[in-house]
């Protein structure tokens, strides 16, 4: 990423270029990203190709002022952070699903980010409802965040931090489980990756009939008051910071397009619909 591209990205998220790549600067950039760039899977239902290439990601997130899902959001944000002087490592993860089952390899992408003041942070702007700020990578105790109480524990350990038998053998010792309010969210692999490693995961999520991304529509972002606004198809949900939700159904295509435009900054020519990507 060139400096001029980084400046355009910073304008997109309403942030100033930091003087130094510090932890405070990272916190501000992380929050600004969540407030302005939505988590969305609209490309899948609009028939748009998802390519994990830096130029294509910047064209989408910055040029077209769109959002994306984890590979796109964290892939682009990682490129921005690297240009700003942060030490960035891409990490693959597997998301916990129903009954505690782990998803496919390269199910998710997150970032490990080092700062100039000695910090080491888990950065994730691509997991929907998640921490508002980076999590301290080496901390194994509770980390209280506006998005919940988080913990990073060695894979196979119980939530209290007691190692289970399996965690002491093989590659499991190299994995971390990310917990939110005591519930495992995803298992993070500590081996460094490159964006191209995630192509198979992105393809699966955008094509498999059992992927929740192909079976549903979502566009969601954090709001200034610490809540969240989400449009799922024609269902608009406003979630307050205390978890209270107010939902409404949008009756017309015009209403849907207006919400995308006014609440998410996304200008579309037609309404995406599940199963209608090529229409």
Among residues 275, 272, 279, the alpha carbon closest in space to that of 43 is found at: 272
Catalytic residue among 30, 33, 70, 177: 70
Our CA dihedral for 102, 106, 107, 110, rounded to 10 degrees, sits at 110
Cross-strand partners of 221: 229
Quick check: is 124 catalytic? yes
Catalytic residue among 30, 33, 45, 108: 108
Quick check: is 45 catalytic? no
Quick check: is 175 catalytic? no
Give me the DSSP letters along 18-70. PSS--HHHHHHHHHHHHHHS-EE-HHHHHT------HHHHHIIIIIS---B-H
Our CA dihedral for 30, 135, 222, 29, rounded to 10 degrees, sits at -10
CB of 217 closer than 8 Å to CB of 45:
yes
Catalytic residue among 30, 33, 107, 124: 124
Active site residue ranges: 70, 108, 124
């Amino acid at each position: 990423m060139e400096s001029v591209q980084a400046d355009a990205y910073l304008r997109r998220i309403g942030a100033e270029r930091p003087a130094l790549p510090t932890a405070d600067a990272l916190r501000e950039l992380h929050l600004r990203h969540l407030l302005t760039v939505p988590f969305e899977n609209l490309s899948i239902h609009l028939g748009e190709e998802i390519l994990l290439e830096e130029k294509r990601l910047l064209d989408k997130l910055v040029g077209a002022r769109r959002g994306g899902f984890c590979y796109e959001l964290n892939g682009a944000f990682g490129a921005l952070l690297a240009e700003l002087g942060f030490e960035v490592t891409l990490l693959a993860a597997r998301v916990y699903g129903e009954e505690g089952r782990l998803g496919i390899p390269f199910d998710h992408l997150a970032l490990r980010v080092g700062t100039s003041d000695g910090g080491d942070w888990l950065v994730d702007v691509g997991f929907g409802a998640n921490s508002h700020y980076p999590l301290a990578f080496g901390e194994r105790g509770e980390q209280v965040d506006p998005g919940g109480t988080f913990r990073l524990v060695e894979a196979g350990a119980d939530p209290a931090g007691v190692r289970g038998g399996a965690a002491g053998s093989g590659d499991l010792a190299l994995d971390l489980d990310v917990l939110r309010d005591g519930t495992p969210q995803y298992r993070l692999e500590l081996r460094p990756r490159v964006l191209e490693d995630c192509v198979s995961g992105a393809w699966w999520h955008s094509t498999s009939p059992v992927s929740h991304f192909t079976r549903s529509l979502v566009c969601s972002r954090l709001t200034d008051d610490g809540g969240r606004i989400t449009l799922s198809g024609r269902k608009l949900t406003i979630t307050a910071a205390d978890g209270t939700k107010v939902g409404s159904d949008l009756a017309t295509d015009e209403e849907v397009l207006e919400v995308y435009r006014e609440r998410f900054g996304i200008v579309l020519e037609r309404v995406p619909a599940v199963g209608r990507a090529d229409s």
